[in-house]
A and B are shown apart, each in its own frame.
Chain A
Amino acid sequence: MKLRIDAGLCQGHGRCYDLAPSLFGDDEEGYGKVLGDGVVPPSAIDDARRSVLNCPEQAIRLIEDE
């Protein structure tokens, strides 16, 4: 599973990096960014799902492995 933020939708609410600091960080303007390559370790799947469901702009996608 891999996380992706749609930069065209993100408005910098920061819910993702508040809720899942191991998966997301912010840039110098407060927009969210996926840390590393975005691959979600099995232990962090719940956090990843919670971030997706709490993003006010629906800007986060959790992509299932092919």
Chain B
Amino acid sequence: MSVGNRLAGDRWEKRDRESRGVRSEIVTGPVADWATDFSHTEPQWAADPHAITDDLRQRCPIAHTDRFGGAWLPTRYEDISAVAYDTEHFSSRSIIMGNFRSPPEIAPIGGSPPITSDPPYHRDARKLLLPAFTRAAAAKLEPTTRSFCHSLIDAMDGRDLVDAAADYAQHIPVRVIAEMLGFPLDDGPQFREFAENKLEGINVPESRRVTAMSALYHYLLAQVHDHLDDPRDDLTTFLINAEMNGRKLSAAHVVGTMELLLIAGSDTTASAIGASLWHLASTPADRERLLAEPGLLPTAIEELLRAYAPVSMARLVKEDLRFRGVDMKAEDWVLLSYPAASRDPAQFDRADQVVIDRQINRHAAFGIGIHRCLGSHLGRMELRVALEVWLERIGEFSLADPSAVTWSRGQIRGPRTLPVRICPPRGG
């Protein structure tokens, strides 16, 4: 079958999949008790999830909610890692916890392999992508990333009040992933919209969710056709031609993986960059130390990743299961809060403090187990370059208005708005 036919046939399969699946009742509103009614979509969670999970870890280490059709929230490192490692009882078929579960029959591949795949399919789907995401592959993208960061600072044009999230952090990862996938470099703002719809559109009505997913799907399909007409050296052409076990990938696999790379490569790293700048803007001692000791940055980055780990992932319980004292039901969600794992005092000394030169730091910001973030080397490169350029060009800065800072909701946490005041150079 030609690639064009593969794609034409699969288009229907994908549409059909969006319309199948299992929906639960949308429940919103203030949380009565975080141990029995938690929700990662409410404003209190967005404002400070760490206070909530630190409290739960003490009094109810595996919290529950009836929202989202039933879900669990472990907050101890050891419980979170136990779920992450247990692919026999917990599936990655759906990894964004909300009111929609993809249909059971799409396991073990899932909609966006390999992040939605379970063993044994997962291994080959991941192996295919690993060479494109090594540290060396990320290093090749460093020069363009660096010059792009400089261009963002140039565009601030000497203003002393800027939004470090909207004017800086949020632009960087979408630009890098557009370059890797071979998409128009100026489409970045559109990618952020796709990512926000996917990650934060949890409680929107079904019709809006389907419309948003359809827009993303058609965008990706247009990119596939553009690459079929004009093949080039990028990840899209690579995926179209790739073979797994001697067979070309199905169109659903190609487009699903493109969707994963686009979404996972956008909001996550932007959140890490933004949260790091928020910390440095609000913590003069750490900011001044990094300005004086740029060589400390790689160590500091690990600590910022630990303290502000931006990503949580979800799993679905495969069958009814007694797990560490709670009775989980088939199809319940488990929200793997890597931020909570990375702040567990049983695992980290001074877990609730940012220790900018922490030497022992076995954090879980990129997840643990077989689904370790494929883009971790890329994300680390982007975070380091973004902070290096910012510190080099901006120097001293501070929060302009702490009450104006807003944070995203859902599973990816980072600042959406981050007004900072840039201080004039000293002396002179």
Taking Cβ atoms with an 8 Å cutoff, the residues of A that contact B are 11-14, 17-18, 26, 28-30, 50, 53-58
B424 contacts partner chain A, Cβ-Cβ < 8 Å: no
> CB distance A30 to B369 under 8 Å?
no
Q: A11-B368, A57-B368 are in contact. Are A30 and B360 (CB under 8 A)?
A: no
> CB distance A56 to B368 under 8 Å?
yes
**Measured CA separation A50–B302 after assembly (Å):** 14
CB distance from B293 to the nearest CB of A (A): 18
Question: Besides A13-B376, A56-B362, 6 other CB < 8 A contacts?
Answer: A14-B377, A18-B135, A29-B130, A53-B360, A53-B362, A58-B362
**Measured CA separation A55–B364 after assembly (Å):** 10
> CB distance B130 to A13 under 8 Å?
no
Taking Cβ atoms with an 8 Å cutoff, the residues of B that contact A are 127, 130-131, 133-136, 298, 302, 359-364, 366, 368-370, 372, 376-377
**Measured CA separation A28–B131 after assembly (Å):** 6
A13 contacts which chain B residues (CB < 8 A)?
A: 366, 372, 376
> CB distance A56 to B363 under 8 Å?
yes
Determine which of A26, A54, A58 lies in contact with B135 in the assembled complex, contact meaning CB atoms within 8 Å. A26
Of the A-B pairs whose beta carbons lie under 8 Å apart in the complex, a sample of 9, sorted by A's number, is A11-B372, A12-B130, A28-B131, A29-B127, A29-B131, A54-B302, A54-B360, A54-B361, A56-B366
Number of inter-chain CB pairs below 8 Å: 49
**Measured CA separation A4–B90 after assembly (Å):** 30
A26 contacts which chain B residues (CB < 8 A)?
A: 134-136
Closest 8 CB pairs of A and B: A29-B130, A11-B372, A30-B134, A53-B360, A56-B362, A56-B368, A28-B131, A30-B130
CB distance from A29 to the nearest CB of B (A): 4
B361 contacts which chain A residues (CB < 8 A)?
A: 54
> CB distance B134 to A28 under 8 Å?
yes
**Measured CA separation A14–B298 after assembly (Å):** 13
CB distance from A47 to the nearest CB of B (A): 11
Which among B131, B370, B376 has the highest number of chain A CB atoms within 10 Å?
B376
> CB distance A56 to B134 under 8 Å?
no
Determine which of A29, A50, A53, A54 lies in contact with B134 in the assembled complex, contact meaning CB atoms within 8 Å. A29
B302 contacts which chain A residues (CB < 8 A)?
A: 54
**Measured CA separation A28–B127 after assembly (Å):** 10
**Measured CA separation A7–B364 after assembly (Å):** 19
B360 contacts which chain A residues (CB < 8 A)?
A: 50, 53-54
A17 contacts which chain B residues (CB < 8 A)?
A: 135
**Measured CA separation A14–B135 after assembly (Å):** 8
Q: Closest chain A residue to B298 by CB distance?
A: A18
> CB distance A56 to B364 under 8 Å?
yes
Q: A14-B377, A30-B133 are in contact. Are A50 and B359 (CB under 8 A)?
A: yes
A18 contacts which chain B residues (CB < 8 A)?
A: 135, 298
B372 contacts which chain A residues (CB < 8 A)?
A: 11-13, 56-57
CB distance from B128 to the nearest CB of A (A): 10
B359 contacts which chain A residues (CB < 8 A)?
A: 50
A14 contacts which chain B residues (CB < 8 A)?
A: 135, 376-377
CB distance from A46 to the nearest CB of B (A): 10
